[in-house]
Chains A and B, each alone.
Chain A
Amino acid sequence: MPDPRPDPASAARAIGQAAPRALALIGALLGRQAAAPLSLDWLRSQIRSSDLREHALRIGTSTVHVLYLFTIVDMERLAEDVLRPLEQGPAQPLAVLARAEAAATDAQALEALLNGRALVIQSTADGARAAVAVDVVKRPARSVSPPNASTILAGPRNAFIEDLTVNVGLIRSIVTTPLLRVEECTLGTVSRTPAVLLHVEGRCDPDHLRRVRDALASVRTDYVLSDITPGSVTWQSGYTPFPLSLRSERPDVVAGKLFQGRLAIFVQGSPFALVVPATLLDVHLSVEAPLGSPLITTFIRVVRLAGIGVGLLCAPLYVALLGVDPTVVPPLLLTTIAATRQGLPYPVTLETLLMLGILDAITIAAEVAPGALGQALTIVGSLIIGQAAVQARLTSTLMVIVLSLVLIGNLLVQDLRLAYALRLVKYPLVLLASLSGLIGLAAGVLMTGIHLCSLKSLDIPYLTFVAPTDWRTIRKNSLWTVPRKVR
């Protein structure tokens, strides 16, 4: 039987014949760049991890080193696109060339390694070294799936994932204009997390673009693990709980904002895009179902806006009217309410603060608890605690109704950051209402309004659309925008 093992002599001949082609490949990949003195020892000392693999191939008078991190590299592609061409000559040189770029310095070589590229380092007899980085990355990622942060009733059901390339691809599939610009950057001085900035040229404000670029370049944190960090470090002021950017996992929403002249930031590892500038209405009203009819859309928007008011003012109004200014309430209604509160051991303010605190605790717990446990918590909170507290005369039935309205108001706010901001603002309003009744509540609401009016996302006032009033946008997006007849 013939020996299945290759004849060493013939193998050497094959390598010898392939060597010029392999070296020619490397030469083509490098182009005319001068060889920089890359240090293999330095690269090895920087990584020092067990998942670093190295192959040394002798090709002619050169030694070719192939370095890669096997945990983030597609081994099949590595063998097909790197090792086999080096050993046998490139079968598909163009395919390899498309995924390769030169790494001229140690820092570039290190970054390429850490981003899932295979480093092919050629060392010549005179000690010169040159390197190319071939993209064979394979990061663990889930497939495109429906969004988790919102329920889609009508509209596209795909959402961003943690892979930057896939996310940009989702945007490209919607925004097919050649004017879409994708600018790469890295964030985090230690983590070196890849990020991209997207905008449509000619649509976005050049000043906004410049400011966002400067802001991203000024991120000085050690590590960036999600899209929140760029926003919190740069344009999100620490003095306001209200979000100054739109955070979305829906490609259709982000694409729409890009066409409106906004900028989108994607960070590797985050399934959300950060869109700036964003007003309060962008944050709150960006995800309503595109049901077509302006009447229905307006109705949904009005209900959701009213939800903010109800969620925010219900509890403080309860304290103001029952605790401080009961004479404002019509006598018949006041008598009914007084009967429900008979026997309660503490004043209205304390009852309200206590129950609001319990409600927020249950809501936050339900948000972080896994599926079934979250449902159980909801049942516990609504049926057991609410009903039991009323029967034990620790709270009134009216308070339970108020809490229900507050919860409904909170749930109508889809942006989690905005929902938490409104929950936070509720407590000072309750305290002001307890001090001065309706007047104190009015002062608190005004101060909240002043704070909102003072906010700007980049240089766009946060309440643009109502303050300053943008009648053109109102007209284009509201009840009386009726589609023209098709001729």
Chain B
Amino acid sequence: MFVLVALASVCTTSFGFPRLHGDLGRTVWLAGVAQAATSLLGAWAVGKVRAAGGDAPLVEVVGAAWGGGAARAYLLAVAAYLLLWPPIAVFPVTVTTVESSLIPLAPSWQVALPLIAAAAYAAWFGPEVVGRLAELALWVIAPVVLIAAIVPWSIVDPRLLWPPVAAAPVRIGPEFAAYAFSLRGFVAALVLPVSAPRPGDLTRPAVLATVSAWLVVNLLFVLPHGIFPALSLPHITNPVLYAVDSIPTRSLAIHSLLAAITPVWFGIAVFSTAVATWSAAELLRQASGAPRARWPLALAVGIDLASLWPDLWHRLPLLAGSWSLYGLVVAVLAPWLLVAGARRRAPALAPA
């Protein structure tokens, strides 16, 4: 669970907020701190909810606090959030990452379709198999992330990046809100359907994973944003990677190496999509009372495939900001209401 949540957190880090750095400059770290705080808050609440419920299904846990009808409505709301998350955030970010590498440009569906297929196959087996795959992949991903973090620094020409000053913060706008509050709701929502055999089982790994992911993301991406001037960073994805455009030819091999490890980010996207798909299917199953998650899983895969339609493909990412705030409500704030409601209506279910 720890590995899975950590990987999911890394994947859901936004790469596509081009105005964020321009707005915040050196104080872009504020966005990172806000992200961490949101994540911890959500994970803590979800951990309390699961610890109180034990191994009871989530629909019963929520129903004990809010009643049966409200419980099903809430589960449907979280499921809808998770169902649309891959098409809104994961697929476009993955395609953008692949297109920004040296891999030749190809139709978006040629990247998204293998991703959906692999994620659906993993989701079919459930979180246990996806978790094992994440542990297995960590042996490959961890060295790759280290390479991606360290190697560019070894060849960059600092004279092109000097002086290390950034523009003063201009404003904290909607980009900040989306970046800060968005993705961690996803993390919390992942943990909701998973039953906890022992109290506190999920809180610690979910919190640790979120903090670890926050550290990785901020060291790899946010820190460079905070150091280098905006003018030297035409693209927000990885400032060091783009700065190497101006350095000697020998570094083209490094370019190739970094491009060759692009599939690793693809793999992380598969984990994120798989676990979101399974979680959404499980929530739909509990909300509907279905004995198996086959049809919810088919629905989730169908939605993912439908998002490849050109009209939808270009419009869905525009919903990222508002969808992020929706996730903040259902996956971060709502669990706290659940905890409060549990204390008031069902003391037996109140967390210790």
Q: Can you list 14 A-B pairs, Cβ within 8 angstroms, ordered by A?
A: A327-B103, A327-B259, A328-B260, A435-B110, A438-B260, A439-B114, A442-B267, A443-B118, A450-B129, A453-B129, A453-B132, A468-B132, A468-B135, A469-B135
Which of B103, B106, B118, B256 touches A330 (beta carbons < 8 Å)? B256
Give the interface centre of B111, B131, B256 by most chain A CB atoms within 10 Å.
Answer: B256
A443-B117, A450-B125 are known contacts; what are 6 more A-B pairs with Cβ within 8 Å? A327-B102, A438-B262, A439-B263, A450-B121, A461-B132, A463-B132
With A443-B270, A446-B267 as contacts: A463 and B136 at CB distance below 8 Å: yes
Min CB–CB distance A447 → chain B (angstroms): 5
Min CB–CB distance A430 → chain B (angstroms): 15
Q: Are A441 and B104 in contact (CB under 8 A)?
A: no
Min CB–CB distance A406 → chain B (angstroms): 20
Q: Are B136 and A439 in contact (CB under 8 A)?
A: no
**Alpha-carbon gap, A436 to B266, bound state (A):** 13
Does B231 sit within 8 A of A, measured CB to CB? Answer: no
B139, closest chain A residue (CB): A466
**Alpha-carbon gap, A437 to B139, bound state (A):** 23
Does A432 sit within 8 A of B, measured CB to CB? Answer: yes
Does B247 sit within 8 A of A, measured CB to CB? Answer: no
**Alpha-carbon gap, A438 to B261, bound state (A):** 9
- Tell me which residues across on chain B come within 8 A of A446, comparing CB atoms: 118, 122, 133, 137, 267, 270
Q: Are B104 and A327 in contact (CB under 8 A)?
A: yes
- Tell me which residues across on chain B come within 8 A of A156, comparing CB atoms: none
Q: Are B135 and A439 in contact (CB under 8 A)?
A: no
Which of B111, B129, B135, B264 touches A436 (beta carbons < 8 Å)? B111
Query: What 1/0 flags go to A424-437 for Cβ under 8 Å of B?
Result: 00000000100111
**Alpha-carbon gap, A452 to B259, bound state (A):** 27
Q: Are B132 and A439 in contact (CB under 8 A)?
A: no
Q: Are A432 and B114 in contact (CB under 8 A)?
A: yes
Does A324 sit within 8 A of B, measured CB to CB? Answer: yes
Interface size, chain A (Cβ < 8 Å): 31
- The residues in B between 79 and 125 inclusive whose CB is less than 8 angstroms from any CB of A are 98, 101-104, 106, 110-111, 114-115, 117-118, 121-122, 125
Number of A-B contacts (CB under 8 A): 96
Does B70 sit within 8 A of A, measured CB to CB? Answer: no
With A328-B259, A328-B260, A447-B118 as contacts: A438 and B103 at CB distance below 8 Å: yes
Q: Are A436 and B106 in contact (CB under 8 A)?
A: yes
- Tell me which residues across on chain A come within 8 A of B118, comparing CB atoms: 443, 446-447, 450
**Alpha-carbon gap, A450 to B117, bound state (A):** 12
Min CB–CB distance A302 → chain B (angstroms): 12
**Alpha-carbon gap, A336 to B326, bound state (A):** 54
**Alpha-carbon gap, A324 to B117, bound state (A):** 20
The list of the 5 closest CB pairs from A to B, nearest first, reads: A442-B263, A443-B114, A467-B136, A467-B132, A453-B132
**Alpha-carbon gap, A454 to B130, bound state (A):** 9
**Alpha-carbon gap, A432 to B121, bound state (A):** 15
Does B252 sit within 8 A of A, measured CB to CB? Answer: yes
**Alpha-carbon gap, A436 to B117, bound state (A):** 13
Does A440 sit within 8 A of B, measured CB to CB? Answer: yes
Q: Are A439 and B139 in contact (CB under 8 A)?
A: no
**Alpha-carbon gap, A44 to B252, bound state (A):** 85
With A328-B103, A446-B267, A450-B118 as contacts: A439 and B98 at CB distance below 8 Å: yes
**Alpha-carbon gap, A453 to B129, bound state (A):** 6
Does B253 sit within 8 A of A, measured CB to CB? Answer: yes
- Tell me which residues across on chain A come within 8 A of B130, comparing CB atoms: 450, 453
Min CB–CB distance B121 → chain A (angstroms): 5
- Tell me which residues across on chain B come within 8 A of A149, comparing CB atoms: none
Q: Are A331 and B252 in contact (CB under 8 A)?
A: yes
- Tell me which residues across on chain A come within 8 A of B264, comparing CB atoms: 442
**Alpha-carbon gap, A329 to B255, bound state (A):** 9
Does A325 sit within 8 A of B, measured CB to CB? Answer: yes
Q: Are A453 and B111 in contact (CB under 8 A)?
A: no
Q: Are A447 and B121 in contact (CB under 8 A)?
A: yes
Does A343 sit within 8 A of B, measured CB to CB? Answer: no
With A442-B263, A450-B129, A461-B132 as contacts: A330 and B270 at CB distance below 8 Å: no
Q: Are B266 and A439 in contact (CB under 8 A)?
A: yes
Q: How large is the interface on B (under 10, 10 to 19, 20 to 34, 35 or more residues)?
A: 35 or more
Give the interface centre of B133, B137, B255 by most chain A CB atoms within 10 Å.
Answer: B133
- Tell me which residues across on chain A come within 8 A of B139, comparing CB atoms: 466
Which of A330, A435, A454 touches B129 (beta carbons < 8 Å)? A454
Min CB–CB distance A318 → chain B (angstroms): 13
- The residues in B between 130 and 146 inclusive whose CB is less than 8 angstroms from any CB of A are 130-133, 135-137, 139
A466, closest chain B residue (CB): B136
- Tell me which residues across on chain B come within 8 A of A435, comparing CB atoms: 110
A325, closest chain B residue (CB): B103
- Tell me which residues across on chain B come within 8 A of A449, comparing CB atoms: 133, 136-137
- Tell me which residues across on chain B come within 8 A of A466, comparing CB atoms: 135-136, 139
Q: Are A330 and B252 in contact (CB under 8 A)?
A: yes
A450, closest chain B residue (CB): B122
Min CB–CB distance A160 → chain B (angstroms): 34
- Tell me which residues across on chain A come within 8 A of B121, comparing CB atoms: 447, 450
- Tell me which residues across on chain A come within 8 A of B255, comparing CB atoms: 330
**Alpha-carbon gap, A402 to B121, bound state (A):** 30
Q: Are B114 and A329 in contact (CB under 8 A)?
A: no
Q: Are A436 and B133 in contact (CB under 8 A)?
A: no
**Alpha-carbon gap, A459 to B184, bound state (A):** 35
- Tell me which residues across on chain A come within 8 A of B270, comparing CB atoms: 443, 446
- Tell me which residues across on chain A come within 8 A of B101, comparing CB atoms: 328
Q: Are B253 and A330 in contact (CB under 8 A)?
A: yes
A443, closest chain B residue (CB): B114
Min CB–CB distance B298 → chain A (angstroms): 18
- The residues in B between 215 and 269 inclusive whose CB is less than 8 angstroms from any CB of A are 252-253, 255-256, 259-260, 262-264, 266-267
Min CB–CB distance B288 → chain A (angstroms): 26
**Alpha-carbon gap, A450 to B131, bound state (A):** 10
**Alpha-carbon gap, A443 to B118, bound state (A):** 6
B134, closest chain A residue (CB): A467
Q: Are B104 and A467 in contact (CB under 8 A)?
A: no
Min CB–CB distance A192 → chain B (angstroms): 40
A317, closest chain B residue (CB): B260
- Tell me which residues across on chain B come within 8 A of A469, comparing CB atoms: 135
Min CB–CB distance A319 → chain B (angstroms): 14
Give the interface centre of A325, A331, A437, A439 by most chain B CB atoms within 10 Å.
Answer: A439
**Alpha-carbon gap, A454 to B263, bound state (A):** 22
Give the interface centre of B132, B135, B259 by most chain A CB atoms within 10 Å.
Answer: B132
- Tell me which residues across on chain A come within 8 A of B133, comparing CB atoms: 446, 449-450, 453, 467
**Alpha-carbon gap, A326 to B260, bound state (A):** 11
Min CB–CB distance A177 → chain B (angstroms): 34
Min CB–CB distance A471 → chain B (angstroms): 11
**Alpha-carbon gap, A469 to B245, bound state (A):** 40
Q: Are B102 and A328 in contact (CB under 8 A)?
A: yes
A461, closest chain B residue (CB): B132
Min CB–CB distance A372 → chain B (angstroms): 43
Query: What 1/0 flags go to A292-334 for Cβ under 8 Å of B?
Result: 0000000000000000000000000000000011111111000
- Tell me which residues across on chain B come within 8 A of A330, comparing CB atoms: 252-253, 255-256
Which of A324, A447, A452, A454 touches B104 (beta carbons < 8 Å)? A324
- Tell me which residues across on chain B come within 8 A of A327, comparing CB atoms: 102-104, 259
- The residues in B between 170 and 200 inclusive whose CB is less than 8 angstroms from any CB of A are none
- Tell me which residues across on chain B come within 8 A of A325, comparing CB atoms: 102-104
- Tell me which residues across on chain B come within 8 A of A439, comparing CB atoms: 98, 103, 110-111, 114, 263, 266
